[in-house]
Amino acid sequence: MTRTRQLLVAAAAVFPEVMVGVALFNAVRARPREDPERGDAIQWVILTAVGAAIAITVGTIIYNKLTNKANSIDVTTPGANATP
């Protein structure tokens, strides 16, 4: 198994949404190969847009999970407000 494949499997285990993005990316990437008359510029614009959407989605998911985890941490010190 290649290193990239291992990373993808590990990321999919933590974030199942990644597999949906990968499936969409592969579908969009394979489509222009079916018709040799299609232009390369259109293919790369679509791939770039899909890649950017996947990156933004994954970034948002990670940000939300980290924010929720950070907000759940208790930062109060027990006994700090106690009077002597």
Structure-token match 């847009």, residue found: 49
C-alpha dist (Å) from residue 38 to 24, 42, 43, 81: 19, 8, 8, 70
The phi and psi torsions of 39 (rounded to 5 degrees) equal -80, 150
Count of residues making up the chain? 84
Q: pLDDT per position in the chain (84 positions), as tens?
A: 688 777 777 777 777 777 777 777 777 777 666 666 656 777 788 888 999 999 999 999 999 999 999 999 888 877 666 565
What is the per-residue burial (b if ≥16 Cβ within 10 Å, else e) of 63-78? Answer: eeeeeeeeeeeeeeee
pTM: 0.46
DSSP label at residue 73: S
